[in-house]
């Protein structure tokens, strides 16, 4: 039995699922989805499993297809309860799921904005600096929130590494990848991130990201200017841009055809 995971190493949602799969010891194989150069056969299988053409999605041996990273983790929990990566107790499990939601929406949106400015060069000069200043202030607030979660806990998941850590880590390190490293004022969070990096499942994921960056960007996370990629603006990302000074970016992208919204279900 081997699951097939459609993924992209830059996706924090795919990274979250990969870390859980690795940590739980559930066999799977990776199918890389290149949004600008995907072969017809892979695209057909991917589209059948992910109606919105989003990574990640998961296909089981029996043909069961699951999209949305959070639903995928719930599927793994229910199919392999003996390999659960959630803490014990309803309250702690709810806390971890709420952390996952916070990072998958609010923190992901800030990182998306950083990526649009630093990675895809959607703005420059004073406009870019104004948006980046807003992002840095938001990160301070979010990092503070996450730092408090570690008051009295060794891990986001509680007393052991698990789903809570897998859900938070890709977003915290994603900020650094896009030019906003973790502020050392948040000492508990910084210590936690360093310990996460030594967890084998996290190390494996980091190696995949490093390899992809080297092969595709020459190790430079800012070398994508001019790349013909149409970026997806889903709910929280669009909201972030609209309220953080990026209205002009959205309008320019719509006019140029370099941004899109979610594909509709079919």
pLDDT at residue 184 in the model: 93
Quick one: 66 and 102 in the same domain? no
Q: What is the mean pLDDT of residues 21-49?
A: 91
Q: Which of 249, 226, 211, 235 is nearest to 54 (CA)?
A: 235
Quick one: 28 and 69 in the same domain? yes
Quick one: 211 and 141 in the same domain? yes
Angle, CA 122 vertex, CA 116 and CA 127 arms, to 5°: 105
Quick one: 97 and 209 in the same domain? yes
CA 84 and chain centroid, separation: 21
For the entire predicted model, the pTM comes to: 0.94
**256 domain-assigned:** no
Mean pLDDT lowest for which of 72-81, 131-140, 158-167, 254-263? Answer: 254-263
**230 domain-assigned:** no
Domain containing residue 57: CATH number: 3.40.30.10
Quick one: 103 and 195 in the same domain? yes
Quick one: 110 and 164 in the same domain? yes
Domain containing residue 165: CATH number: 1.20.1050.10
Confidence of residue 226 (pLDDT cuts 50, 70, 90): very low
Mean pLDDT lowest for which of 35-44, 131-140, 159-168, 225-234? Answer: 225-234
3-state secondary structure the chain: CCEEEEECCCCHHHHHHHHHHHHHCCCEEEEECCCCCCCHHHHHHHHHHCCCCCCCEEECCCCCEEECHHHHHHHHHHHCHHHCCCCCCHHHHHHHHHHHHHHHHHHHHHHHHHHHHHHCCCCCHHHHHHHHHHHHHHHHHHHHHHHHHCCCCCECCECCCCHHHHHHHHHHHHHHHCCCCCCCCCHHHHHHHHHHHCCHHHHHHHHHHHHHHHHHHCCCCCCCCCCCCCEECCHHHHHHHHHCCCHHHHHHHHHHCCEECCCCCC
Confidence of residue 187 (pLDDT cuts 50, 70, 90): very high
Give the count of domains, the chain. 2
Angle, CA 253 vertex, CA 229 and CA 209 arms, to 5°: 35
Quick one: 109 and 149 in the same domain? yes
Quick one: 122 and 200 in the same domain? yes
**126 domain-assigned:** yes
Q: Pick from 28, 62, 83: which residue ends a domain?
A: 83
Say which residue, 213 or 71, is predicted with more confidence. 71
Q: Write the pLDDT tens digit of every residue in 96-141.
A: 999 999 999 999 999 999 999 998 999 999 999 999 999 999 999 9
**8 domain-assigned:** yes
Output the furthest CA–CA distance in the chain (Å, rounded): 54
Q: Please state, in angstroms and rounded to a whole number, the distance separating the CA atoms of residues 103 and 177.
A: 16
pLDDT at residue 36 in the model: 72
Quick one: 114 and 157 in the same domain? yes
Which range marks the domain in which residue 10 is found? 3-83
pLDDT at residue 38 in the model: 82
Two tokens, residue 9: 């190493």
Q: Pick from 64, 83, 102: which residue ends a domain?
A: 83
pLDDT at residue 148 in the model: 98
**163 domain-assigned:** yes
| Torsion, CA 103, CA 247, CA 221, CA 133, rounded to 10 | -70
Neighbouring residues of 22: CB distance < 8 A, sequence distance ≥ 6:
200, 201, 204, 205
Quick one: 21 and 121 in the same domain? no
Quick one: 114 and 95 in the same domain? yes
Q: Pick from 35, 55, 83: which residue ends a domain?
A: 83
Quick one: 96 and 156 in the same domain? yes
């Amino acid at each position: 039995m081997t699951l097939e995971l459609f993924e992209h190493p830059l996706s924090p949602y795919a990274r979250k699922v990969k870390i859980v799969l690795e940590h739980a010891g559930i066999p799977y194989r990776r199918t890389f989805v290149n949004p600008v150069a995907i072969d017809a056969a892979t695209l057909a299988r991917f589209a059948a499993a992910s109606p919105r053409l989003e990574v990640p999605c998961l296909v089981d041996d029996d043909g069961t297809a699951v999209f949305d990273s959070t639903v995928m983790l719930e599927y793994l929990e229910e199919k392999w309860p003996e390999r659960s990566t959630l803490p014990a107790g309803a309250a702690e499990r709810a806390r971890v799921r709420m952390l996952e939601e916070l990072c998958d929406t609010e923190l992901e949106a800030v990182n998306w904005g950083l990526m649009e400015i630093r990675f895809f060069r959607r703005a420059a000069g004073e406009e870019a600096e104004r948006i980046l200043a807003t992002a840095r202030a938001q990160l301070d607030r979010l990092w503070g929130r996450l730092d408090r979660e570690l008051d009295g806990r060794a891990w986001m998941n509680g007393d052991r590494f698990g789903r809570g850590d897998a859900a938070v880590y890709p977003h915290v390190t994603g900020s650094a990848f896009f030019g906003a490293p973790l502020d050392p004022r948040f000492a508990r969070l910084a210590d936690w991130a360093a310990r996460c990096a030594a967890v084998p499942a996290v190390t494996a994921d980091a190696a995949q990201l490093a390899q992809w960056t080297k092969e595709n960007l020459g190790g430079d996370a800012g070398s994508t200017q001019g790349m013909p990629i149409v970026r997806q603006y889903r709910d929280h990302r669009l909201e972030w841009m609209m309220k953080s000074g990026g209205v002009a970016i959205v309008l320019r992208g719509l006019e140029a055809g370099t941004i899109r919204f979610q594909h509709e279900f079919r």
